[in-house]
Amino acid sequence: MDNKAKVYALYFAIDDVITSICRIVNDRESPKKVNSNELFNRFWTKAKNKYSVLNYDLVAEMGMTNTKAEEEFASIASAIKIYLGALETNSYCYLIYSLWFALNAVIVEHSLADPSVNQHDFYYEIRDRLNLGSQRYLSLSQANIEEWQHIDSIIKSKLGDF
């Protein structure tokens, strides 16, 4: 899977979890309802900020802070390799790392919204969601061109043009 496909797989995995969270929260007898776009934007903003801070620590080359950032990036790259395959060069890495942060955050949020989710099974949850995201990407990218262009434009409006 190339890096661009990883971006789509991660996006679709996040979208799937956010849809689940919205369904759970909005089905409750609570007056507070959640909107999937607002929820995505909240997680996406936090993920981009986390990436920026970590990347700053990496490039700042400040001793222990730099070492911790290198270790965290290496750990994330290792996890991505396990679930989606090795990262290729530097293309779309910013998006992939940021989406990885967002996916982890939405899975934690999902476990808080749905008490039936076992918090000790995050790795299985990530694996399952990424498998579904990959399958969704493959099926949608092979759909008719107009449908894919519409979906692609929605994704790029949320993530930025890539």
**Any idea where the domains of the chain sit in the sequence?**
3-24+35-159
Confidence category of residue 118, pLDDT binned at 50, 70, 90: low
Q: Per-residue pLDDT for 51 more than 70?
A: yes
Q: Indicate if the pLDDT at residue 73 is higher than 80.
A: yes
Q: How confident is the model at residue 153 (pLDDT cuts 50, 70, 90)?
A: very high
Average pLDDT estimate for 32-49: 95
- Per-residue pLDDT for 122 more than 90? no
The residue ranking higher by pLDDT, 107 or 121, is 107
Whether 119 has a pLDDT exceeding 80, the answer reads no
Q: Residue 35 has what pLDDT? A: 93
Please check whether residue 84 is in contact with residue 9, taking contact to mean a CB–CB distance below 8 angstroms.
yes
Asked if pLDDT for residue 32 goes beyond 90, the answer is no
Q: Which two tokens stand for residue 6?
A: 């990883």
Q: What is the pLDDT of residue 58?
A: 82
Mean pLDDT of the chain: 91
Tokens of 26: 């909005």
Across residues 82-102, what is the average pLDDT? 94
15 has pLDDT over 70: yes
Q: With 70 as the cut, is the pLDDT of residue 93 above it?
A: yes
SS (H, E, C) 48-116: HHHHHHHHHHHHHCCCHHHHHHHHHHHHHHHHHHHHHCCCCCCCCHHHHHHHHHHHHHHHHHHHHHCCC
Q: Taking each helix axis from N to C terminus, what angle separates 93-113 and 122-141, rounded to the nearest 10 degrees? A: 120
The four Cα atoms 69, 49, 76, 14 give a dihedral, to 10 degrees, of 170
- Phi first, then psi, for residue 2 (nearest 5°) are -75, 170
Residue 57 sits at φ, ψ, to 5 deg, of -60, -35
For residue 8, what is the enclosing H or E element?
Answer: helix 3-27
Mean pLDDT in residue range 1-17: 96
